[in-house]
């Protein structure tokens, strides 16, 4: 049997959002009954639920499900994690990369869980500054590491498509706890971020 990807959506929520998107299409001067737009409200309703699914997910539970005892106390980095989120000010996307590091304190976490944590917080209406801190705080509270670090680099469509319309601007945010507040450790982390890619 061939692989089949299925997606589930709350039908009541889908209908409410569908009505709202139909109204939006009408208010901007389009005809929602036009052939190309007939199914757009439903597609948009499902897309919005997908893009905000983080509200129904528990990042701490994800991390806690894959903690393993390990006597390792050096920096662990997962870098270039794709980030796709929605700016809460204009409901427009921002996207880029997240880099996460932590220093284990008796336990390590399954590496795939770190990108999942990024997705939990990114799949909400966000600002990049809060997103950075939410990821960091989750790591610190759940893993209890000797230190944690998060850096996010992103492009914001609200700056590129409207407003100042600056196409090449990149916003970088960072947050650190524990050992990463020390200059030497932070510099080692930043040096590793800039090292050659695999």
Q: Which residues are catalytic?
A: 87-90, 128, 156, 158
Provide the H-helix boundaries in 28-58: 40-51
Q: Are 125 and 88 in contact (CB under 8 A)?
A: yes
Helices 128-143 and 113-122 pack at an angle, to 10 degrees, of 140
Distances (CA, A) of 113 to 6, 87, 100, 130, 176: 22, 24, 11, 20, 19
d(CA 93, CA 162): 12
d(CA 126, CA 156): 11
For residue 69, count other CB atoms closer than 10 A to its CB: 8
121-135 core/surface letters (b: 16 or more CB in 10 A; e: else): bbbbebebeebbebb
């Amino acid at each position: 049997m061939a692989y089949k990807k299925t997606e589930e959506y709350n039908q009541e929520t889908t209908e409410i959002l569908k009505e709202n998107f139909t109204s939006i299409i009408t208010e901007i001067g389009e005809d929602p009954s036009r052939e190309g737009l007939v199914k757009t409200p439903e597609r948009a309703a499902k897309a919005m639920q997908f893009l905000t699914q983080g509200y129904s997910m528990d990042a701490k539970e994800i991390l806690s499900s894959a903690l393993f005892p390990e006597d390792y106390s050096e920096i662990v980095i997962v870098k270039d994690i794709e980030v796709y989120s929605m700016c809460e000010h204009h409901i427009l996307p921002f996207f880029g990369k997240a880099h996460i590091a932590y220093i284990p304190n008796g336990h390590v976490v399954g590496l795939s869980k770190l990108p999942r944590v990024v997705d939990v917080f990114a799949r909400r209406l966000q600002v990049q500054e809060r997103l950075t801190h939410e990821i960091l705080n989750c790591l610190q509270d759940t893993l209890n590491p000797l230190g944690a670090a998060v850096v996010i680099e992103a492009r914001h469509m609200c700056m590129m498509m409207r407003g100042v319309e600056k196409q090449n601007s990149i916003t970088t945010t960072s947050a650190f706890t524990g050992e990463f507040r020390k200059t030497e450790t932070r510099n080692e982390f930043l040096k590793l971020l800039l090292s050659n890619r695999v």
